[in-house]
Chain A
């Protein structure tokens, strides 16, 4: 798996001229990598994700996935949205099965894989419940299970825990990290949460706003043995402080 963004620009036409959203975005993700795009609102980070998903197209530059230009959405790039995007008329299990059914997998396989991925996200007993009967955190876990069950090569997460309470968000972050370690997935995470990016990603690209551009890229290498302790460890907090200062300066140049 190889995702390469090469000089990607995105602008929207306006009544006079055009509005630049993204300017010269370059980065790549290889098999098994966990990459985060960190930026405040207006940095165009969600647009990057939509371009990679093939839901929109760059105005300039190239996005290639496994050597082929991205021409539209496909099941090789699974996506989890910030807002709960479960189908409200389907049960949790039916939601997980949704992508596999679209792909025409045999019924028996769909059933087995549904059970497996419900187990993976720890919601085996919630399979028969409707989304509205699930908490926010459970809904996002089902959304992740649904994306995983469709066998993507790359998982795109657009602020997946942004709408959750702090405590649930922390446990979901730990869940996601373990999931990544178990499955060897390739992940692109979009977030404005510095902790989240530092805690989960191996590589972080910091986006500056208006137009969105990568101003800094850094590698992260913490010991994830105890994530609760990691959140409070000095090296983590120092890194966090430094990143926070950087982001504040980026916003400061605006106002």
Chain B
């Protein structure tokens, strides 16, 4: 980014080189390709709906209030499960990072659990908790907890010992270390871990809704398959992608605002 920044002030060239405009160009290229192929009519509309058809499907679902309802349902699950995961991961990760015994006790366990694919827990969760909201939220919880915890643990482990010891020689108590040194130091890395693992949460909510749900973006896609509504499938995929991108950008913005010292 910095090397590209040196072009700033060169008018039109600057526009092209700006990191965002190139990214937009990439998206537009694929969109253009899609529009061209579908307008040429070489691929059956059933397999490749036109952008206009997808747009219409979106309008239709918006008018029915379905799109918003699905969005709300999916987002609620993602944020519910992820908030629960963060709530456990933050204290657990900090404790494991700060305490060698606890770390040795739990790290291998979490290491194993982490490699168990979360979707494989869906049958168990359905047997235990039925098909309500709880199993979906728990799936996201399981699918992100171990990654969140281990990443926070790593961040705590790498808090420079000088920062800890300085606080102690300035009259700090153990409790001060946690709130005044460790917590502020790991915030940028924790935010970054959350940003990365949020993507997994989005994947999981869709998987959960594909399997068993009354509403949600995943459910809509699964229903669309039954009625061969590829336009609705495309719509669902695009909406999921955009929401994911927005969440990612949100985390990045939070990071820039709150953790400018770490950039």
Contacts and interface: CB of A to CB of B under 8 A. Distances in A.
A88 B169 CA distance: 18
Dominant secondary structure at the B interface = helix
Nearest to B185: A89
B163 interface: yes
Contacts of B187: 89
B170 A85 contact: no
B185 A99 contact: no
B172 interface: yes
Nearest to B168: A73
A83 B162 CA distance: 8
A74 B173 CA distance: 9
B154 to A, nearest CB: 18
Contacts of A130: 260-261
Contacts of A98: 167, 170, 180
Contact of A75 (B162, B163, B169, B181): B169
A147 B262 contact: no
Contact of A73 (B160, B163, B169, B185): B169
A88 B261 contact: yes
Interface in A122-143: 130-132
B201 to A, nearest CB: 27
Contacts of B250: none
A87 B180 CA distance: 10
Contacts of A99: 170-172
A75 B165 CA distance: 11
A98 B172 CA distance: 9
Interface residues of A, number: 27
B184 A102 contact: no
A53 interface: yes
A153 interface: no
B60 interface: no
A89 B262 contact: yes
A193 B220 CA distance: 72
Contacts of B166: 79, 81, 85, 146
B35 interface: no
Nearest to A98: B170
B184 A78 contact: no
Interface in A26-72: 53-55, 72
A78 B169 contact: yes
A79 B172 CA distance: 13
A146 B167 CA distance: 11
B259 interface: yes
A221 B162 CA distance: 34
Given A81-B165, A88-B261, A88-B262, A102 B171 contact: yes
Contact of B165 (A55, A88, A146, A147): A55
B170 A146 contact: yes
A234 to B, nearest CB: 40
Nearest to B169: A79
A10 interface: no
Contacts of B160: 83, 85
A87 B163 contact: yes
A46 B248 CA distance: 45
B214 interface: no
A15 interface: no
Given A55-B165, A102-B180, A89 B261 contact: yes
B132 interface: no
Residue among B163, B170, B185 having the largest count of chain A Cβ atoms under 10 Å: B170
A150 interface: yes
Contacts of A146: 166, 170
Contacts of B173: 102
B135 to A, nearest CB: 40
A-B CB proximity, top 8 nearest? A75-B171, A99-B170, A85-B162, A73-B168, A79-B169, A89-B261, A102-B172, A85-B166
12 contacts: A77-B169, A79-B166, A81-B166, A85-B162, A87-B181, A98-B167, A99-B170, A102-B180, A103-B170, A103-B171, A132-B261, A156-B169
Interface of B: 160, 162-163, 165-173, 176, 180-181, 184-185, 187, 259-262
Given A89-B185, A102-B167, A102-B170, 9 more contacts: A53-B165, A54-B169, A78-B170, A83-B160, A89-B262, A98-B167, A99-B171, A146-B170, A150-B170
